[in-house]
Amino acid sequence: MTITQATDSGVAESTPAGIVYRLQDVTRTYAQKGRVVRALTGVDLEVAAGEFVTIQGPTGGGKSTLLQLLGALDRPSSGSLLLGDVELATASGAELNRLRSEEIGFVFQGFNLIPTLTASENVDMALEMTGLHRDERRRRVAEALEHVGLADRGDHRPGELSGGQQQRVAIARAIVKRPKVLLADEPTGNLDESMRDEILAVLERLCAEGLTLVVVTHDSAVARRASRRLRLAKGVVTDITV
């Protein structure tokens, strides 16, 4: 099975089944103080289902820009960016909202948990707009917390959890929607080595179960655990997997 897309020339191109992202000649430019800043330049990239991909590179090299494009938070200035069979460059705002709410999970360096809510309540927030029945939401929240090893911490507030446990709650919040892909921006940046390894173990288990991971990181120890390593510098992506 393949996914086809009509190009400007009228010739259909195929995206093989099993490819989550397909980027072709993606460029992102910004106007800044009267000049054009080129954040991404002609990026060609495919990410397969179930891959664990890390992106490294210098500050200002385009990593955050690329993650925003993959997360349907921004659009390319030119080129094609497919998530499955949806062209993110031209999709409607409603379709992009649907993708963010159903198919893409986000994890950030800051845990972004609400301190007055319990772990279960923080995770449940991701389901508020889904229309799911309360009992189904409760079941999914419990399942997500169990998935990250926090089945017995659902009634704890963030202040009662370690940094690693808080990040696991954040991961549970991201996966409770059952997304196709999880995008993470420095998910271990605020953690010590032990807690970093704790989070990596969770991410690796999720990947082994079929979730696609794209992780921006400065930590080479994290990058070495990935199945594929990319470097992004001056807007250009290079595959450095060894």
Spatial CA neighbour of 137 closest among 97, 177, 101: 177
Asked whether residue 199 is assigned to any structural domain, the reply reads yes
Q: What is the pLDDT of residues 110-169, one digit of tens each?
A: 999 999 999 999 999 999 888 889 999 999 999 999 999 999 999 999 999 999 999 999
Asked whether residue 149 is assigned to any structural domain, the reply reads yes
Asked whether residue 8 is assigned to any structural domain, the reply reads no
User: Residue 140 belongs to a domain with what CATH number?
Assistant: 3.40.50.300
Output the six-digit token pair for 170.
Answer: 């954040």
Return d(Cα 19, Cα 28) in angstroms, integer.
22
Residues in contact with 32: Cβ distance below 8 Å, sequence separation at least 6, in sequence order:
none
Asked whether residue 43 is assigned to any structural domain, the reply reads no
- pLDDT score for 242: 52
Q: Phi/psi zone of residue 186: left (φ > 0), alpha (ψ -120 to 50 degrees), beta?
A: left
Averaged over 220-232, what is the pLDDT? 93
- The number of distinct structural domains making up the chain is 1
Q: Which domain holds residue 229?
A: 51-72+92-239
Task: Specify the 3-state DSSP secondary structure of 182.
Answer: strand
Asked whether residue 133 is assigned to any structural domain, the reply reads yes
| Alpha-carbon distances, residue 88 vs 69, 112, 231 (angstroms) | 8, 26, 23
Q: Does residue 27 surpass a pLDDT of 90? A: yes
Asked whether residue 115 is assigned to any structural domain, the reply reads yes
Return d(Cα 48, Cα 226) in angstroms, integer.
13
Q: What is the pLDDT of residues 75-93, one digit of tens each?
A: 999 999 999 999 999 999 9
CB 241, CB 228: distance < 8 Å: yes
Averaged over 59-72, what is the pLDDT? 94
Asked whether residue 41 is assigned to any structural domain, the reply reads no
Q: How confident is the model at residue 10 (pLDDT cuts 50, 70, 90)?
A: very low
Asked whether residue 131 is assigned to any structural domain, the reply reads yes
The predicted model scores a pTM of: 0.88
